[in-house]
Structure 1
């Protein structure tokens, strides 16, 4: 591979930016396409499809090969609760490395979350170093506005691909009212999946975790590009 192309790919990887190496199998010049220059590209549609699937391959019947480089998806869970305990192993099974944030030290313990990165700090302290970005699934589960609300605002600012929050429709309506009073746009608040998770009739913490993981997967595979 041309060293300039390799350098560009490495730079995209370090910056957690999706990039696609477009190769002419008949020997034409290769090029790299990143998200910020994708709009209007002659291969925009197949490249977006490749980014959603994360799979490399030939474009249709052409002699063009797309090598896809997508940052690994992250998961940040606000709340060291029972649902989180069920969600963590599911997330790991699907390739995520979940992080738990909860300032309530009685909940955010290594005993309850062994082998998981747990930050027993308030969101304004814990979240900035985590590099939350577009490739992050962000899930607020504490049911405590003092914790969830500032965390959600951080997620809006970082354009997370999935933002979910625990609570009934009535609870969410109050959440929307609070966030609106803090200047959050209606467009941003509309991105919150609440009640969190696909509507499968989940009741137990484990079932709710399954519904959340299914909704996160749907957002990752169908809406990231």
Structure 2
């Protein structure tokens, strides 16, 4: 599973550019019950400051020492650490494991220009993979269409392809929920737990009130305007929940014209048939309309708002990981 989005590469780039020096440490393989997943990163400055983590505290000290040595000699290195049962227990694991960590000094091994391009892609929400050959130490950035990384982009899974380590940097997942109804309350909570950044849209201010959705991002603009301002990409899921064509339809039309990986709409089969008629009159083809998951959610027999939210969340994850 991918880690939640962070700015570790940007921090390393900043340290390098201000003259402090920086190295990036990346978990490239794990065995057993490792504390941090493959792709997790730790930035180390030339002064020994750190950001991020590669083991939850078990081996950070040793990695910092190796990183400072790497800054001295300019050479990358692959390190392997066993996490003892005692150390594992200290960070909340049932048993120990082994982790393999790649340390790269910025500038000497990892070119500044390449790291700068990686940081720029992340900031622009462009999916990119950093590929390093651990035999020749050649490095490059590739996009989602590159054959070596295609499957890894979809699964959010960094890892080795023979001697090449492929570090996936997908943009953060987002979910736009149109309609601040009862189902939306458990759905935005589940979305956040699953690693999505949720946003609610409802022009009806009584529904989309902070008191009903404490701490959530809520827009009272019309959906097409709010979605245009937000920007919709291939890491965005969209769910419409109002049943009201005046609110749902502008959101659906905007979503169908976007790269959103998921679009689901609440409503019965009969309600959806009327929706299809309206969209057909708007000029959408049968194939385009077929992108809509309706009635929304997996058929698990859910009745309560929370159970329906579970079915929606499950369907979104299925489409994200397995495709439509």
State the TM-score, normalizing by the size of structure 1. 0.91
- Quote the offset at 1:28 in angstroms: 4.1
Q: Name the residue aligned to 2:228.
A: 128
1:73-152 matched pairs, under 5 angstroms: 73-152=173-252
Distance in 2 (CA, whole Å) between partners of 1:99 and 1:176 is 26
Q: 1:24 aligns with which of 116, 128, 133?
A: 133
| Conservation of the 8 A alpha-carbon contact between 2:178 and 2:248 | yes
**Deviant stretches of 4+, over 2 Å:** none
| Conservation of the 8 A alpha-carbon contact between 2:130 and 2:140 | yes
Does residue 180 (structure 1) correspond to residue 280 (structure 2)? The answer is yes
Q: Name the residue aligned to 1:195.
A: 295
What runs of 5+ residues in structure 2 fail to find an aligned partner? Answer: 1-109
Does residue 51 (structure 1) correspond to residue 145 (structure 2)? The answer is no
Instruction: Give CA deviations for 1:67-124 in whole Å, capped at 9, x if unaligned.
Output: 1100010000000000001101111111112111011122110111111011122113
Q: Counterpart of 1:111 in 2: which secondary structure?
A: coil
Does residue 214 (structure 1) correspond to residue 214 (structure 2)? The answer is no
1:37-48 matched pairs, under 5 angstroms: 38=145, 41=146, 44=147, 46-48=148-150
Distance in 2 (CA, whole Å) between partners of 1:119 and 1:100 is 6
Distance in 2 (CA, whole Å) between partners of 1:93 and 1:173 is 33
Distance in 2 (CA, whole Å) between partners of 1:151 and 1:102 is 11
Bigger RCO of structures 1 and 2 (CA < 8 A, at least 6 apart): 1
Could you say which structure has the higher strand fraction? 2
Q: Counterpart of 2:149 in 1: which secondary structure?
A: helix
Task: Report how many aligned residue pairs link the two structures.
Answer: 215
Q: Which has the larger radius of gyration?
A: 2
- Quote the offset at 1:135 in angstroms: 0.8
Q: Name the residue aligned to 2:115.
A: 6
- Quote the offset at 1:7 in angstroms: 2.1
Further displaced range: 23-32 or 94-103? 23-32
Instruction: Give CA deviations for 1:179-208 in whole Å, capped at 9, x if unaligned.
Output: 110112222210000010011111111100
What runs of 5+ residues in structure 1 fail to find an aligned partner? Answer: none
Q: Name the residue aligned to 1:15.
A: 124
| Conservation of the 8 A alpha-carbon contact between 2:132 and 2:138 | yes
Distance in 1 (CA, whole Å) between partners of 2:206 and 2:283 is 32
State the TM-score, normalizing by the size of structure 2. 0.64
Instruction: Give CA deviations for 1:114-167 in whole Å, capped at 9, x if unaligned.
Output: 110111221133221112211101000000001101101111122100100001
- Quote the offset at 1:3 in angstroms: 1.9
Q: What is the RMSD computed on CA atoms of the aligned residues?
A: 1.4
Q: 1:158 aligns with which of 254, 258, 273?
A: 258
